[in-house]
Amino acid sequence: MTLSDRVRLVFAGLCTLDILQLVASYPADNEKVTALDQTVAAGGPATNAAVTAACLGASATLLTAVGRHPLAAGIHADLASSGVKLIDLAADDDGPPSVSSIVVSAGTGNRAVVSTNGAARTLSTPDLSLLAGAQAVQVDGHYPEIAAAVLREARRLGIPTLLDAGSWKPVTPSLLPLLDVVVCSADFRPPGVTDVPAFLAAHGVRWIAISQGPAPILRWTGGDLRPQPVPSTKVVDTLGAGDVLHGALTSAVARRWPLTDDTFAESLDEAAAVASRSCASFGTRAWMRKP
């Protein structure tokens, strides 16, 4: 693949410094345990999606907030080694970056997460000319003003737009009319809504799916939901699997745009295969180094 063959993708959203520790079992109150393994990497929905896309051969640009605190050096180094172009909208911020402390149970692959979401940071306005030539844009709903600005400009340029809808956010209703593809988790629940796909379709979204972990993805066809099985795998760690799904999906959609029912189904299958593979190793990076 030459540089000219790579799809150009832009991701906008949260970036954290993820500190992950693998334990035999979760500690009880006032108990200390020794970790079996640990890893430190940049994280957050849009960030993990951008790293995934870069791993799959795309040219990935990330708009986010990192700052110049000493801890930010680790984020810069990780993203650079992952091939992601970082545009830091909080480059002059002296405060520490958002940090996620994550404990993963070796027995189940489940995790406990304590994090901050960066909501208090002041961001500069991005130069939206960077969207020229992009083949898809994905946002995660963090930093709402940035998400809205990026989606509006992408829509003006005719670039397909995607949302990682992991959970309902107050900004979500204002973003939906600007979106082509929304894949939401089973935890995504608009207030008072029982039929999520119909709700999204009523707001103008055409390509909709619901991810359910190891259960089949539910793909909206415009009239009903059709299940798409996901590959089974021996689960070691589920952290970031949804982010990986969205990064792989953004790349797949960009290569198949404009979508049909068949190519949307193909894109979901491709993304699910990558996300399942990511669950077979500890952390959000090890799967990328495996053949």
Superfamily (CATH H level) for 3-15+42-95+119-289: Ribokinase (3.40.1190.20)
Residue 137 gets which letter from DSSP? Answer: E
CA pair distance 160, 142, nearest whole angstrom = 19
- Residue 211 · residue 219 · CB < 8 Å: no
Distances (CA, A) of 154 to 149, 177, 179, 200, 273: 9, 12, 10, 19, 28
**How large is the average pLDDT for residues 1-30?**
88
Query: What pLDDT, on a 0 to 100 scale, did the predictor assign at position 111?
Result: 86
- Residue 205 · residue 173 · CB < 8 Å: no
**How large is the average pLDDT for residues 66-73?**
96
CA pair distance 113, 108, nearest whole angstrom = 15
pLDDT at 4 over 50: no
pLDDT at 119 over 80: no
Q: How many CB atoms lie within 10 A of CB 66?
A: 29
State pLDDT tens for residues 151-209.
Answer: 999 999 999 999 999 999 999 999 999 999 999 999 999 999 999 999 999 999 999 99
Residue with tokens 């939906």, as numbered in its chain: 176
**How large is the average pLDDT for residues 124-136?**
95
CA pair distance 6, 1, nearest whole angstrom = 7
Query: What pLDDT, on a 0 to 100 scale, did the predictor assign at position 249?
Result: 98
Query: What pLDDT, on a 0 to 100 scale, did the predictor assign at position 109?
Result: 82
**How large is the average pLDDT for residues 219-241?**
94
User: What one-letter code names the amino acid at 138?
Assistant: Q
Through-space distance between the first and last CA atoms of the chain, rounded to whole angstroms:
18
- Residue 94 · residue 106 · CB < 8 Å: no
- Residue 69 · residue 196 · CB < 8 Å: no
- 178-214 core/surface letters (b: 16 or more CB in 10 A; e: else): bbbbbbbbeebebeeeeebbebbbebebebbbbbeee
- pLDDT bucket at 131, cuts 50 / 70 / 90: very high
Structure tokens at 233: 């795998």
Q: Are strands 84-88 and 59-64 parallel, antiparallel or unpaired?
A: parallel
**Rounded to the nearest 5 degrees, what angle is found at the Cα of 254, between the Cα atoms of 250 and 257?**
125
**How large is the average pLDDT for residues 84-111?**
92
Higher-confidence residue of 157 and 290: namely 157
CA pair distance 287, 2, nearest whole angstrom = 24
pLDDT at 3 over 70: no
All residues at 6 or more sequence positions from 291 whose CB lies less than 8 Å from its CB, including other chains: none
Query: What pLDDT, on a 0 to 100 scale, did the predictor assign at position 2?
Result: 45
Query: What pLDDT, on a 0 to 100 scale, did the predictor assign at position 116?
Result: 84
In this structure, the chain runs to a length of 291
Average pLDDT, rounded, for the chain:
94
Please tell me the pTM assigned to this model: 0.95
**How large is the average pLDDT for residues 212-218?**
96
Query: What pLDDT, on a 0 to 100 scale, did the predictor assign at position 291?
Result: 62
